[in-house]
Amino acid sequence: MSVEASGPVIIITGTPGTGKSTHAQRLVEESPVPLQHINVGDWVKEKGWYEEFDNEWQSYTADEDKLIDELEPIVAGGGVILDWHTCDAFPERWADLVVVLRCDHSQLWKRLEKRNYPLKKIQENNEAEIMQVVLEEARESYPPEIVVELKSESAEDLEANIARIVDWIVVWKKERASGA
């Protein structure tokens, strides 16, 4: 990101049900710099940035080219949290920090059941969590020093994670101010 950015670009990713939106909202509230939370999945639906709706999986297939084109000017200004279940669609140059939230698969199963996900979707997401699919995507798509894996299983984890990310933002801000 450019030195002129008003705030960092933070990607919060993880298997559905790991707490991405909850983390993003809390971060908006507690960040020392203004941040805009973009729930990418919601934007894809609301703005029609999708190719189709998959009835079997009960989800939209994002038009990634359209998505990136539309997000580019927003992200260029900085101060954005991108909240999505995948991260490899976002250009490497966008991210200052990539947070991958992780959750024990049995707890994740219960969370997805509460959302009334179809059984097949629950099974697929649980397998993805067990196999660390999102974490591996992040590690393959971004420099290792900006990818952070955080446990997201309890209120205590949420508090610790937010405190850690806020501390990171403080350092990011100081580095920008000193020209580092």
**Pairing between β-strand 50-54 and β-strand 59-62 as defined by DSSP bridges:** antiparallel
Distance CA(180)–CA(36), nearest Å, equals 24
Is 17 among the annotated ligand-binding positions? yes
For 142, other C-beta atoms within 10 Å of its C-beta total 20
Is 19 among the annotated ligand-binding positions? yes
H helices present in 81-118, as ranges: 105-114
Is 115 among the annotated ligand-binding positions? yes
Is 121 among the annotated ligand-binding positions? no
Tokens of 91: 């250009």
Distance CA(100)–CA(111), nearest Å, equals 17
Known binding residues are 17, 19-22, 115
Indicate the annotated binding residues for ATP.
Answer: 17, 19-22, 115
